[in-house]
Amino acid sequence: MAASILIVEDEAPIREMIAMGLGRAGFDVRHADSAEDAEAAIRLTRPDLILLDWMLPGRSGLEFAREVKRNPDLRDIPIIMLTARGEEEDRVRGLDTGADDYVTKPFSPREVVARIKAVLRRTLPTAGENPIEVEGLCLDPVSHRVNAGERTVDLGPTEFRLLHFFMTHQERVFTRTQLLDNVWGTNVYVEERTVDVHVRRLRKGLAPTGHDELVQTVRGTGYRFSARR
């Protein structure tokens, strides 16, 4: 079955251009021109990914992304932001809302298709692997769940992938570039500061159970996942 993409973009020419490119790439495409229309579309059918314009009439794409990521039933849906804001601080703000990637305007349909495929690849659960447990923190790659005892740990898809990599590569120090290559993939352009954003979100998700201390910062180098001694 083709992956379902919800395009939330108020400018019809851009929306139609993207939809045509995604349709040719084999995706099931639906449209919305506002946050309200997007909510209605999601209620009808949950998309596999949301392509979300930053600047929408009324409620902004940034606000809508925050609402999606606060909703426990929707937070696992990956979001790619479409933005004319090219400054680093603006891109980090987008990632801080929970977005998994961003595309800066102007862009080509081919670039959007490539970004969508990359995000879907890294957010899909990895089948055929056994659960991993460290100090009561259990990650199941097949069900895509993380638990600490009886408590469910809520993580976004990128944080899940990052934790999975850490837990399968314990006690090793990784630079931000190495984490980008292993978690995001070598064919995706993402800035190194993006790693810090997602590590911060991972620690926030692990904090209620006290497992945030397992993700350690190695000054001047990067990060390490290490069991407490």
Confidence of residue 128 (pLDDT cuts 50, 70, 90): very low
Which top CATH class is 4-123? alpha beta
pLDDT at 138 over 90: yes
What is the reported pTM? 0.58
The CATH architecture annotation of domain 132-225 reads Orthogonal Bundle (1.10)
**CA distance linking residue 89 with residue 168, whole number of Å:** 32
CA pseudo-torsion sign 64, 69, 71, 76: positive
For residue 5, which phi and psi values (nearest 5 degrees)? -115, 125
Mean pLDDT score of the chain, rounded to an integer?
85
Contact 161, 122 (CB under 8 A): yes
Determine the average pLDDT of the residues in 36-57.
Answer: 91
- Return the residue matching tokens 């993409």: 5
**Per-domain boundaries in the chain:** 4-123, 132-225
**CA distance linking residue 167 with residue 118, whole number of Å:** 22
Neighbours of 1 (CB within 10 A): 5
pLDDT digits (tens, 9 = 90+) for 76-124: 889 998 887 655 566 666 677 778 888 888 888 888 888 888 888 766 5
